Chain A
Amino acid sequence: DGGITQSPKYLFRKEGQNVTLSCEQNLNHDAMYWYRQDPGQGLRLIYYSQIVNDFQKGDIAEGYSVSREKKESFPLTVTSAQKNPTAFYLCASSIGGTGEAEQYFGPGTRLTVT
């Protein structure tokens, strides 16, 4: 079945450590996105990538980094510079980044940093 896989579902880290969240899609989509969700707030865009080897900052990119070496993979690293990393992280993909392409979301990773 086609879809988006995020792993792990729950992740725990100590403050000061970098952590990488996985996102893989087998939908053959060109565009991929990372969002952050906090309680009582909508999703906020961290980074997005329109095509392999290219990515752009979203609204809240500080303290995060990404790579897009393969079409199907878009890992997100939460660095120690991110002041409030505890959140629910959602990855999404779409056929393209413009027009009416629907974004499909993965199940999310809940990161807790203590």
Chain B
Amino acid sequence: GNSVTQMEGPVTLSEEAFLTINCTYTATGYPSLFWYVQYPGEGLQLLLKATKADDKGSNKGFEATYRKETTSFHLEKGSVQVSDSAVYFCALRGGGTSYGKLTFGQGTILTVHP
């Protein structure tokens, strides 16, 4: 079956530091890949997505590139802000008969200090 593995957290950074959160996946076929963000006490918001190999998703300064050869979709940001403190989830959606079902990683807590 499909699975997603994220780097262990929590991650603590100072403002303006570089961020990388690793994500690797196992899936059959050609999945779509997503990063969601969850701010404290809220639901999930889609941060970015990529639907085929070598696509780069980007939003709000965050980027992730769909690497089929390494089955990875690492999230990066060049300069984090305190407001980026949240939980980040990597997810995939398989094609075929998976009916839009999302498979999530365990989430990575990011805390950014001033």
Chain A residues near B (Cβ < 8 Å): 4, 6, 31, 33, 40-45, 48, 50, 56, 58, 90, 92, 94, 96-108
Contacts and interface: CB of A to CB of B under 8 A. Distances in A.
Nearest to A38: B106
Interface string B71-114: 00000000000000000010100010001111011110000000
Contact of A42 (B42, B99, B105): B105
B64 interface: no
Contact of A100 (B32, B99, B105, B107): B32
A43 B101 CA distance: 11
Contact of B43 (A41, A45, A48, A107): A107
Contacts of A58: 101
A112 to B, nearest CB: 15
A41 B106 CA distance: 4
A106 B45 CA distance: 9
A31 B99 CA distance: 9
A40 B42 CA distance: 16
B101 A45 contact: yes
A102 B34 CA distance: 10
A39 to B, nearest CB: 9
A48 B106 contact: no
Nearest to A102: B46
B44 interface: yes
A33 B104 CA distance: 14
Given A41-B106, A43-B104, A102-B49, A97 B42 contact: no
A42 B46 contact: no
B21 interface: no
B58 interface: no
Contact of A103 (B41, B51, B95, B102): B102
Contact of A98 (B89, B91, B99): B99
18 contacts: A6-B43, A31-B99, A33-B101, A40-B106, A40-B107, A41-B107, A42-B91, A43-B104, A48-B99, A48-B101, A90-B44, A97-B101, A102-B49, A105-B36, A105-B44, A107-B42, A108-B42, A108-B43
